[in-house]
Amino acid sequence: SEGAELLGLMHYMEGLRLLTAAELVAPTSDENVTVTDTEFSHVPVRLYLPRRAPGGLRRAVLFFHGGGWCLGDAGMHSYDLVSRRISNELNAVVVSVNYRLAPPHHFPVQFEDVYSVTKFFLQSKVLSQYGVDPVRVCVAGDSAGGNLAAAVAQQLPEDPEVKTKLKAQLLIYPALQALDLDLPSYRDNADKPLLPRPLMVRFWSEYFTSEPALREAMASNSHVPAQASPLLQFVNWSRWLPAEMHKAHAYGGPVPGGAELAQRYPGLLDPRASPLLASEARLGRLPPTFILTCEHDVLRDDGTMYAGRLRAAGVPVTHHHAKDAFHGAMTFLSWPLELAVGHRLLNTCVGWLEDNL
């Protein structure tokens, strides 16, 4: 029954929150990296500064953690390990952002937090304070954080106050659109671990509102009003997915819903929430991009379609598709949840940054 499913998901969410809390580690410096908790533009961040002599200006990575805009923390052990490795191996300054979470905060608060941190950091006086090379700065994130990184990268070139251009963006199994929640990957992986479809629907709906009406409409893929149909071309998987990912699926597109939800929650149709909705002209201004997707992941097709759209807009894209991996795999880096695939995916990401940042 729906009540039981709702209870199951509520407990799942609460369980996830407890796991998040259990994973938190204090900001602890080591022989390679100085780690501190501070604030940039009134938003809490965890800052990783390499200890060895820079030998010139350093690279920098702004990292946004995942967790469906509802969970997660820069201080979780897995994210702390990722940030440390990037900082140490690339001799890079890493700014890992603790944006506000839903509920109580809904779109666009999460986006505004990471954007204001990025904009603050890209000021020449801040870059020089940390010895950062203004032409070697990148945004990165996993899952909902990959969504935020993609949205920030799209917004910066439109902002007349920002003079610094990003060198790259690194998107790790990103969520990129809330228009069609019935892509082949949503069908193929509806019950797969870590991110089953009902949980992703819950995350998307919670990003916009805690009102159950949106969640119910999203669950039946009928939340997009008929007048938004011109946007569907940007998420039409029959066009943007390679043939081998179509499998036996036939394209139908979402069932048009009433206009009321989109009027109440305009974020539904906002490219800052769904970066796949950006025009080709906007995409064409983006820096070289790395996209990681996993076969056993409801978000597989979001990242794959974005790779296709960016290539069509002339952006250099490295799309790494892990056929043996599932959503969240890159954070399985330490006991008791250590997997070889987690280390392999992180090595792939760090290697790309080494060559492209």
Average pLDDT over residues 141-157: 98
pLDDT at 5: 57
79: left (phi over 0), alpha (psi -120 to 50) or beta: alpha
What is the C-alpha R_g of the chain? 19
How does pLDDT run across 53-109, given as a tens digit for each residue?
888 999 999 999 999 999 999 999 999 999 999 999 999 999 999 999 998 899 999
Interatomic CA distance for residues 72 and 100, integer angstroms:
10
Q: With contact defined as beta carbons under 8 Å apart, do 150 and 118 qualify? A: no
Are 68 and 200 a contacting pair, CB within 8 Å? Answer: yes
Per-residue pLDDT, 4: 56
Give the pLDDT of residue 18: 81
Between 11 and 266, name the one with better pLDDT: 266
Q: Could you say which of 87, 143, 205, 274 is catalytic?
A: 143
User: Do 68 and 170 form a contact (C-beta atoms < 8 A)?
Assistant: no
Q: Which two tokens stand for residue 23?
A: 């994973």
Q: What is the DSSP letter of 341?
A: H
Note the pTM of the prediction, 2 decimals: 0.96
Q: Residue 296: count other Cβ atoms within 10 Å of its Cβ.
A: 19
Share of residues in the chain with pLDDT > 90 (%): 89
**H/E stretch holding 152:** helix 144-155
pLDDT digits (tens, 9 = 90+) for 22-35: 899 999 999 999 99
Question: How many helices and strands (H and E) does the chain possess?
Answer: 14, 10
Which of the residues 113, 180, 297, 302 is marked catalytic?
A: 297
The pLDDT value given to residue 1: 46
Question: Can 296 be counted among the known catalytic residues?
Answer: no
- Nearest Cα neighbor of 276 from 251, 301, 302, 243 is 302
User: Which domains, from first to last, does the chain contain?
Assistant: 1-356 (3.40.50.1820)
In sequence order, the 6+-apart residues with CB closer than 8 A to the CB of 199 are 9, 12, 68
Q: Mind listing the pLDDT tens digit for each residue in 163-183?
A: 999 999 999 999 999 999 999
In the prediction, which pLDDT does 7 show? 66
Cβ burial of 247 (10 Å; 0-12, 13-18, 19+) is: exposed
- Contact between 63 and 86 (Cβ < 8 Å): yes
Question: With bands split at pLDDT 50, 70 and 90, how would you rate the model's confidence at 336?
Answer: confident
User: Does residue 19 have a pLDDT over 90?
Assistant: no
Q: Is 297 a catalytic residue?
A: yes
Helix/strand/coil for 174: coil
Q: How far is CA 162 from the centre of its chain?
A: 22
Mean pLDDT of 128-134: 97
**What stretches of the chain adopt beta strand conformation (E)?**
33-40, 43-50, 58-64, 92-97, 132-142, 168-172, 289-296, 317-326, 333-334, 337-338
Whether the Cβ atoms of residue 92 and residue 46 lie closer than 8 Å to each other: no
User: Which of 166-195 are b and which e, b meaning 16 or more Cβ less than 10 Å from the residue's Cβ?
Assistant: bbbbbbbbbbbbbbbbbbbbbebbeebebb
Residue 3: pLDDT band (50, 70, 90) is: low
Question: Is 302 a catalytic site residue?
Answer: no
DSSP-based helix, strand, coil % in the chain, nearest 5: 45, 20, 35
Tens digits of per-residue pLDDT, 311-322?
999 999 999 999
Residue 2 banded pLDDT, cuts 50, 70, 90: low
Q: What is the pLDDT of residues 279-296, one digit of tens each?
A: 999 999 999 999 999 999
pLDDT in tens, 348-357: 999 999 999 9
Tokens representing 37?
């908790």
Residue 150: its pLDDT value, please? 99
